[in-house]
Amino acid sequence: MTSNIPAINTYPRSYYAASAADSMVSRPALTDATETDVCIVGAGFTGLYTALRLTEAGKRVVILESARVGWGASGRNGGQAILGFSCDMPPLEAQLCYEEAREIWNLMRASATEIRQRIAQYGIDCDWRDGHLWTSILPRRESSLRQCQHDAAEKWGYDALRFIPKIELPDWLGTDHYCAGLFDPGAGHLHPLKYVFGLATAAESAGVQIYEQTAVVRYQEEGNRVTIESEKGKVTAGALVLAANVYLGDLDKNLSRRIIPVGTFMVATEPLGERAQALIPSGVCVTDNQFILDYFRVTPDERLLFGGGCTYLGGTPRDIPAAMRPALERVFPQLKGVGIEFGWGGMIDCTVHRTPDFGRRGNVLWAQGFSGHGVLPTCVAGRVLAEALLGDDTHLRIFMKLSNPPFPGGKMFAAPIEAAGKLWYRMRDMF
C-alpha cells in the first residue's frame, strides 16, 4: 500500500491557530528505524485517543503525522462535542439488533464523560462549556426534535434532552430564525486545537512518541509484524492503526474508496463585545437540523464562530468569508456587515450511509467515516480500537457489522452523484 501525501509544516490560518499559537510545539520527523507495539498514522483525535488508551495499558506507541499534531479536521472543526454519530440512531438500529445499537449509544454517553474527565485530569485549557442546542428552521422538522427526545428517553434511557418551544427560544438565541430547539446538557463545546494539543502532551507524558512531518508512504504486513515506511524512516510494529481521515488516499485504497472528502467552512467574526452575549445568551453551541446545516457558537473572546456549507471532493470557495456571510447574516441579521477576521475550511470523511467505518484486517485497524460528526465519536473510536488491540474486540465487532460499501463508480462518479444529492437536499431544506 503506498501514498504520496506531502509533509506539511504549517497550520491553516484559522481563528484556532491564531488563538493557540502559544501552545504550538514542533516535534521531530522520523529519520531512522524504530520498533514498537502499535504504530498509529495520524495525530488527530482518533489517533491520540487510541494512543492514550494503549499507553495507559502499558503498550509502546508511535504516532506518525504527515503534517502537525491537529493539522487535520481535529484542529479546525466547530468544536461541538455532540452525542451521536452523523447518521443518527435509525441506520444503526436498522443494521444492528437493539442491544448492539444500545451499546453504541452507551459508548457515546461514556465518551461525553471521558472528554470532561480527560480535560480535568490533564488540566487542558480548552474553553470547555456544557450544552448544545439542536434547532429547527422548518416547522415540519420540529417533530423530528420531539421524536429525537422521545427516542432518547424511551429507547436509550437518556431523559436529559429538553424540548424548547418557539416562545422560550429568546432565552437561548438572539434570532427568530428558528421555530423550536432541543437542548442537550450532556453535549458541549471546546477549542479543538487547544484540546488536541492537550491530548498530545498527555500522550507524550505517558510515553507515546509522536513524529511530525512524517508522511507514511507505504506499509506492508509480514507475518505478525507490520512495516510502516516514511520517506526517511521506518517503524516495525505489532499492529498498525490508520487514523488518517480523508487524507488516507493511496495508502489503503480499499479503505479510502469507502469515503469521499466533503469540504465544510468556518468563519470567525471580529470581537463583538456586548453584542456577543445577546447572540447566544445561553452560551450553548448550536446546530440546525437542515440536511446542509449551519453550526455556530460564541468564543470566550466574544466572537461568533459560524460554520456551514459544503462542497464535494474537497473544493474550496476562493473567498470563504464572502461565501459564508449570507448564511451568517440570515441567522443573525443584526450582524449585517460585521467584520470577519478569519475564514478557513476543512474536509470531512463521508461514507455512503454516513455510518462510521471502524474495522480490522489482520494486524491493521482503522476508524474513519465520521461524516462531519467526529469530536465525540472519535473518542468512541479510540476506545473501541484500543480495546480490540488489548484483546477485547466485542465493541469493534459490533461496528464491523455496519455496511460501508465503496462509493459506486469510485470518486469520479461520487462527485456528480453527491452534487445532485446536495441539490436535492437543498431543495428539501427550502421547501
Ligand X SMILES: Cc1cc2nc3c(=O)[nH]c(=O)nc-3n(C[C@H](O)[C@H](O)[C@H](O)COP(=O)(O)OP(=O)(O)OC[C@H]3O[C@@H](n4cnc5c(N)ncnc54)[C@H](O)[C@@H]3O)c2cc1C
Tell me which residues touch ligand X (CB under 6 A): 3, 5, 41-47, 64-67, 71-74, 76-80, 82, 215-216, 243-245, 247-248, 251, 264, 266, 295, 307, 346-348, 370, 372-376, 378
Closer to ligand X by CB, 72 or 131: give it. Answer: 72
Torsion of CA 276, 280, 286, 292, to 10 degrees: -60
Closer to ligand X by CB, 166 or 292: give it. Answer: 292
Output the smallest distance, CB 65 to ligand X, in A.
5
Question: Between vectors from CA 380 to CA 241 and to CA 283, what angle results, nearest 5°?
Answer: 130
Closer to ligand X by CB, 217 or 334: give it. Answer: 217
Closest CA to 395 of 11, 146, 65, 111: 111
Output the smallest distance, CB 217 to ligand X, in A.
7
Strands 209-211 and 61-64: parallel
Residues in the chain, overall count? 431
Closest CA to 133 of 170, 85, 103, 87: 170
Closer to ligand X by CB, 266 or 298: give it. Answer: 266
Closer to ligand X by CB, 25 or 97: give it. Answer: 25
Closer to ligand X by CB, 41 or 365: give it. Answer: 41
Question: Between vectors from CA 160 to CA 154 and to CA 164, what angle results, nearest 5°?
Answer: 100
Closer to ligand X by CB, 248 or 398: give it. Answer: 248
Closest CA to 401 of 162, 92, 159, 142: 92
**For 297-318, what is the HEC assignment?**
EECCCCCEEEEEEEEECCCCCC
Closer to ligand X by CB, 198 or 346: give it. Answer: 346
Output the smallest distance, CB 98 to ligand X, in A.
25
Closest CA to 407 of 184, 266, 253: 253
CA distances to 17, 305, 348 from 268, in Å: 12, 5, 19
Output the smallest distance, CB 10 to ligand X, in A.
12
Nearest residue by C-beta to ligand X? 374
Output the smallest distance, CB 290 to ligand X, in A.
15
Output the smallest distance, CB 411 to ligand X, in A.
16
Output the smallest distance, CB 21 to ligand X, in A.
18
Closer to ligand X by CB, 34 or 166: give it. Answer: 34
Closer to ligand X by CB, 13 or 150: give it. Answer: 13
Output the smallest distance, CB 271 to ligand X, in A.
21
Question: Are the C-beta atoms of 62 and 40 separated by less than 8 Å?
Answer: yes
Output the smallest distance, CB 182 to ligand X, in A.
16
Question: Are the C-beta atoms of 57 and 391 separated by less than 8 Å?
Answer: no
CA 31 to chain centre: 30
Closer to ligand X by CB, 216 or 272: give it. Answer: 216
Closest CA to 202 of 45, 33, 36, 373: 45
Output the smallest distance, CB 56 to ligand X, in A.
18
